[in-house]
Amino acid sequence: MSLCFRYGIIKGWIKNIGMETRKLGRYLALAIAAMALIYGWFALVGITDLGNFNHGIRNVLIGVVLVFLSECLTGRSLLHPSWRPGLLIFYFWLGAFSYIGARSGGTWGIRVEVLNDDVLTLIPVLVLTFLLEYIGSLKRLLRPVLSLFNFLLIGYFSLGAFVYITYYKIFDAGFTHDAMISVLLTNFNETKEFLLSHLGAAALVGVLGLFILYMILTAVLIYKGNREDKGNSIHSLKMIGIGILVIAALVPLARGIPRTFPSWSYRVAHKYIMGSKAAMKKHDENLKDFHFVGETPKMLNGSVIVVIGESAAEDHMKAFNPSYPAETTPWLSKEEANPDFFLFDKTYTSFPLTEKALAYYLTNINQYNGRNRNESISLTDVANQIGYPTYFISNQSPAPGNIALELTTSVSKKVYFTRRPGSDDGKVLDELKKIPDGEKAFIVIHLEGSHDRYKDRVPPDFTGIQVDGHSEKVNDYDSSILYTDDVLKRIYDYGKDHLNMQAMVYASDHGEDMEYFHGDGKFTWEMARIPLFVYLSDSYQKEYPETAKELALHKDDIFTNDLMYDLVCGILRAPNTGYDAKYDPTSPEFSFTKDQATTRYGEIRIVDDPQLR
């Protein structure tokens, strides 16, 4: 009897051990499967170097261990509902970011190292949300607080993923730090127009609706995952273990959030903008070191106007691209035969992003001279030193943090913004008329040009362009180019009639691609090719015939808009410490070649443009 009793106890122990072993084996298998699933997806989309220990195998092991220990301590396998909220964001985030990263990599594949911070952040999110769900199911009073925390945590990452996916849908590229700079420098109206233009009202509502449904699903999963569990309890030893795991998840999560999107992009962009503001403070010191080469140049006999275009693509401008099927530049096409006009048909942007392009366009910094932002001198500074009354007129909303624009506006004697920035560019004429007639002024005009949405750039009563076979978007864009041509004509006419205009220079900040628009994501040459023309009055050419001669000689040469400082200084007859004659097409010393020319801040060589003539 005693022997049978002992045999029964031993048999029970063995059975329990067997059951526990099978349970532990199941837990381990599920933990391995969870990590294998996401890393299998990585391999499928083209993530490489998965066998690397530091960024591949090590992260898999961390994930397996944390998930396995969480299962063991709670007695809940990965199949339990309390894991589902965390699993949802874990796979959604890593699945989306790995796919977009691989697709944006340029050669269908990126190293797993790029996803290191994402993986080491989302594994703790997965474990932490589960543990809080588990605690909430046992502690009724804590349940609402823990549920809200999980909802907000998952909501933060979910919103980031939705934004990232939407940006990729628009630009076919991942959301970069430079894109974040643009976001931080963009006002609400521009953001609204951007979304309406690129997505459309229906798609935008659809995205918002999808996000709301997603968050409702998250709330349901959280509710079901932490339902009261009276059949379970937390013993003190188990509680200690769970507490250690919570801390083990919180520490890397606190480190990881600032290193993942959007926090990391925000930090980089914010640092850049703060650096720009520091450069502004350095500006006064730069002016102390600034001087002209030789005597201070005399003022010209009238005004000089520099017009900054926006998103104008040379490819869509008939005056620069005669084969284009629509006459988008009737005024400029007519003036092309005028000997007072010099059209440069091989001009490129330094960067297909407004803030970065203007940082070089308006200052003595370019891709080739090795200067940095702390050495900035603006064109308006030069004009001030000569003695011109200086004006800045803009139809774009103020953009705090845009160093070049801040530098230009801060030193201009008068700054005028149109009453409704972003609307009709013709309104800049109202501001131009505030300048006294006959004044020898230096004027910078910043147009809204062809900034999307294109149809909002054209007044309702303006007759636009309709070309059979072109999409509505292309026709809207071409109509904005046509309207810019009309605005330029009016600026030109007013400058001649009222301001004794001696010179007018027009160049765009960057171009525009009809599919990918512009930015720091996918690059196309349509984003890089831009218009540039110079007008010199008859009286100017009679006084300085060599300037006109050199412009005529070099108008067919390569030029990039980060050399505008040198070009305008040449027109002003004002060589200075920030000027270099080899970059100035008005100078006989101009020696800039196509082999030197680059875009995207030196990343891409202009000579590689397949359409370069």
Q: Write the DSSP string, 526-560.
A: HHHEEEEEEEE-HHHHHH-HHHHHHHHHHTTS-EE
Short-list 376, 385, 495, CA closest to 443: 495
Angle of CA points 44, 45, 48, to nearest 5°: 85
- The secondary structure element, H or E, covering residue 391 is strand 390-394
DSSP string, 396-435: S---TT-HHHHHHHHH-SEEEE-SSTTS-GGGHHHHHTTS
Mean pLDDT of 540-546: 98
3-class SS at 24?
helix
Question: What does the pLDDT read at residue 4?
Answer: 54
Which of 224-233, 314-323, 466-475, 511-520 has the lowest average pLDDT?
224-233
Question: What does the pLDDT read at residue 284?
Answer: 85
Convert the pLDDT of each residue in 372-420 to its tens digit. Answer: 888 899 999 999 999 999 999 999 977 666 778 888 988 999 999 998 8
Q: Is the dihedral of CA 249, 254, 260, 261 positive or negative?
A: positive
Residue 590 has pLDDT above 80, yes or no: yes
Residue 526 has pLDDT above 90, yes or no: yes
- Structure-block tokens of residue 19: 């059951």
DSSP letter assigned to residue 185: T
- Same domain for 500 and 377: yes
Residue 236 has pLDDT above 80, yes or no: no
What are φ and ψ of residue 109, in 5° steps? 155, 135
Say how far apart CA 79 and CA 92 lie, in whole Å: 17
ω into 262 cis (within 30 of 0) = yes
| In-domain check, residue 492 | yes
Residue 171 has pLDDT above 90, yes or no: no
Say how far apart CA 261 and CA 114 lie, in whole Å: 12
Residue 228 has pLDDT above 50, yes or no: yes
Residue 40 has pLDDT above 70, yes or no: yes
Question: What does the pLDDT read at residue 499?
Answer: 98
Say how far apart CA 525 and CA 512 lie, in whole Å: 9
Say how far apart CA 104 and CA 607 lie, in whole Å: 24
Question: What does the pLDDT read at residue 400?
Answer: 62
| In-domain check, residue 286 | no
Residue 107 has pLDDT above 50, yes or no: no
- Same domain for 154 and 44: yes
Question: Do 584 and 570 meet the contact criterion of CB atoms below 8 Å apart?
Answer: yes
- Same domain for 433 and 322: yes
Residue 3 has pLDDT above 60, yes or no: no
| In-domain check, residue 583 | yes
Question: Do 496 and 516 meet the contact criterion of CB atoms below 8 Å apart?
Answer: no
Say how far apart CA 77 and CA 70 lie, in whole Å: 9
Question: Do 446 and 396 meet the contact criterion of CB atoms below 8 Å apart?
Answer: yes
What are φ and ψ of residue 433, in 5° steps? -70, -10
What are φ and ψ of residue 337, in 5° steps? -80, -10
- Same domain for 377 and 468: yes
Convert the pLDDT of each residue in 257-290 to its tens digit. Answer: 999 999 998 987 887 778 767 777 788 889 999 9
Say how far apart CA 348 and CA 526 lie, in whole Å: 10
| In-domain check, residue 37 | yes
Q: Is the dihedral of CA 572, 577, 578, 579 positive or negative?
A: positive
- Same domain for 204 and 152: yes
Instruction: Return the bridge partners of 414, or none.
Output: 391
Short-list 356, 360, 346, CA closest to 597: 346
- Structure-block tokens of residue 519: 């930015």
Question: Do 225 and 165 meet the contact criterion of CB atoms below 8 Å apart?
Answer: no
Residue 320 has pLDDT above 90, yes or no: yes
DSSP letter assigned to residue 438: T
Instruction: Return the bridge partners of 343, or none.
Output: 533
- Same domain for 334 and 416: yes
Question: What does the pLDDT read at residue 109?
Answer: 55
Residue 553: give the domain boundaries.
Answer: 301-608
Short-list 315, 578, 312, 321, CA closest to 450: 312
- Same domain for 219 and 328: no
Number of structural domains found in the chain:
2
Mean pLDDT of 524-552: 98
Residue 133 has pLDDT above 80, yes or no: yes
Mean pLDDT of all residues belonging to the chain: 91
| In-domain check, residue 82 | yes
| In-domain check, residue 268 | no
| In-domain check, residue 383 | yes
Buried b (16+ CB within 10 A) or exposed e, 274-301: eebeebbeebeebeeeeebeeeebebbe
Question: Do 276 and 401 meet the contact criterion of CB atoms below 8 Å apart?
Answer: yes
Which of 42-56, 272-286, 349-363, 557-571 has the lowest average pLDDT?
272-286
Convert the pLDDT of each residue in 440-454 to its tens digit. Answer: 999 999 999 999 889
Question: What does the pLDDT read at residue 16?
Answer: 53
3-class SS at 158?
helix
Short-list 303, 258, 358, 276, CA closest to 504: 303
Mean pLDDT of 44-65: 92
- Same domain for 354 and 223: no
| In-domain check, residue 167 | yes
Question: What does the pLDDT read at residue 5?
Answer: 47
Q: Which residue has the higher pLDDT, 184 or 255?
A: 255
Say how far apart CA 423 and CA 264 lie, in whole Å: 34
- Same domain for 246 and 114: yes
- Structure-block tokens of residue 431: 């501001």
Say how far apart CA 151 and CA 299 lie, in whole Å: 65
- Same domain for 545 and 428: yes
Question: Do 111 and 57 meet the contact criterion of CB atoms below 8 Å apart?
Answer: no
Question: What does the pLDDT read at residue 108?
Answer: 43
Instruction: Return the bridge partners of 530, or none.
Output: 347
Residue 6 has pLDDT above 70, yes or no: no
Which of 180-194, 342-356, 508-522 has the lowest average pLDDT?
180-194
SS (H, E, C) 489-512: HHHHHHHHHHCCCCEEEEEECCCC
- Same domain for 344 and 223: no
Angle of CA points 257, 263, 268, to nearest 5°: 130
Determine the residue type at 57: I
- Same domain for 315 and 191: no
User: What share of the chain in percent tops pLDDT 90?
Assistant: 74
- Structural domain ending residue among the three candidates 213, 230, 261: 261
User: What share of the chain in percent tops pLDDT 70?
Assistant: 94
Say how far apart CA 530 and CA 507 lie, in whole Å: 7
Q: Is the dihedral of CA 461, 516, 368, 592 positive or negative?
A: negative
3-class SS at 242?
helix
3-class SS at 454?
helix
Residue 78 has pLDDT above 90, yes or no: yes
CATH code where residue 340 lies? 3.40.720.10
Buried b (16+ CB within 10 A) or exposed e, 70-83: bbbbbebbbebbbb
